[in-house]
Amino acid sequence: MTTKPIRGLERYYEYRERWKAIISDMEKSPVPNPALLALFRLFLENDEKTIDCAENNKPFLSSWYGNAPEIYAAMGIHYICVVDNLLAHQSFTDDLAGIDANIVPDDMCGLIKLGAYAVEKGLVPTPTGMIAMLEPCDAQSVLHESWINNDAWKDVPYFALDPAYRSGKEDFEYFVGELRRMIAFLENLTGIKLDWNRLREVIEETNKQYEIWDEYNQLRRAVPCPGGSFQGSGIGWAISQHIMAGHPGATDLFRMLLADEESRYKANKGWLEKENSRVLWADLIGTVNAPIGEWLEKEHGTVVVQDFQGYTPYSHIDTSTEESMLLGLAKRNLAEVPMIRQARGNVDVFIEDVIRIVEDYKIDCVFFPGHVGHKDQSASVGFLREACRELGVPLLVLTMDIFDPRYLPMDKFTHIVNEFFETHKLGKFK
């Protein structure tokens, strides 16, 4: 008698074995990178939890960042983001080719296309429940609709947090009510009661993580920058949003990142031997960042010093009462996590963040990726151009899909940037 395989786990077994192989190879290296090793161990641990939940009928959720994952963590409920592993393993799979055959229109965000493809093709296990996201883009609502119309997911109970439009006290208080509704949904779904003392512990651990991340970023203001392009953004984002919130291993990894950068800062050494220019990448970094960062550093002596994904305007959450914790989580998830911070409400926060980063990090030019899924931000280019003109920094407006490197191939990207840098005497033309 053969046992029917659990839908979605075949791909997760692949992920698990790949992490194990990578970790094993790194451990055998004469000079292992301790930060990457710690990161991959956290990824492996997370995938093993997903497999354990699916194999043993333990509750787990499908969710997104910005949905207060601190609450799931405090309840001991495991959670996944459907697209995380697809993005992390993109270079090892043919998923990008797979989405081309999907019914999702070509001009939609690659993240949305990957999410629809993953559930349709059974690349993720079916969760116990789904916490949907109604912000910051309309396409995410459509994605959830596609999921609940899938035969494997049609009976999955779901809940969506209704976001407030603005960022005033009354808006955060309204969102506190949404968080309480989500807690009631989760308690009813799983039979697990929220332990408020455990929530306090989780939040206090995340407070530590965001404080260390902010300290790391303060050092990046130095000229020359003591860290590399996009360094900290990818790792910090992953361990703060896509593994169990408040994991002490994530705190240790933030400390490792800080110590590494601090050693160069104290020695007055930059990441590059000669730093010509400093860039702000005004959006999330997606999966296109690694080759772009390497090329800018090697070809132009240029460092992407900051981006919206690595920017950390997080506030310390007061854990003295239940209400103060929920109010802090409402503010963190409505007004501080990237993309939701810049895309929800009016254009003011987006422009104010650009101005603050340009001034604080001594930025020489701004790259606006023009991500195909961020049409809301593309509608703000006029405001951005005016702000950059007043700041006296050149602005490069691109059109790309930050989750699909095929949209703007690397050779076209480098051609555009070379012309831009030559025109404005930046990079190797400085």
Per-domain residue ranges of the chain? 9-192
Over residues 384-410, the mean pLDDT reads: 96
pLDDT digits (tens, 9 = 90+) for 289-335: 999 999 999 999 999 999 999 998 899 999 999 999 999 999 999 99
- Report the mean per-residue pLDDT for the chain: 94
How far is Cα 332 from Cα 66, in angstroms, rounded to an integer? 8
Quickly state the pLDDT bin for 135 (edges 50, 70, 90). Answer: confident
- Highest average pLDDT, of 110-119, 159-168, 247-256, comes from 247-256
Q: What is the per-residue pLDDT for 32?
A: 87
Residue 375 is predicted with a pLDDT of 77
Of 34-48, 162-176, 374-388, 410-424, which gets the smallest average pLDDT? Answer: 374-388
| Alpha-carbon gap, residue 331 to 194, rounded angstroms | 20
- Domain 9-192 in CATH 3.30.390.30? The answer is no
Cα–Cα distances (Å) from 178 to 145, 160, 330, 374, in that order, read 21, 9, 9, 26
Q: Is-above-0.85 flag for pTM?
A: yes
* pLDDT value of residue 383: 96
Q: Among 95-109, 262-276, 282-296, where is mean pLDDT lowest?
A: 95-109
Mean pLDDT, range 128-139, rounded to an integer: 84
Could you report the per-residue pLDDT of 361-384, keeping only the tens digit for each? 999 999 999 998 887 777 889 999
Q: 12-16, 36-40, 304-308, 344-348: which range is least confident on average? A: 344-348
Q: Say whether pLDDT at 2 is over 60.
A: no
Does the pLDDT at position 40 exceed 70?
Answer: yes
The whole-number pLDDT of residue 107 equals 80
* Distance separating alpha carbons of residues 202 and 326, to the nearest angstrom: 13
Contacts of 247 (CB under 8 A, 6+ apart): 42, 73, 205, 239
Report, as an integer, the average pLDDT of 422-428: 98
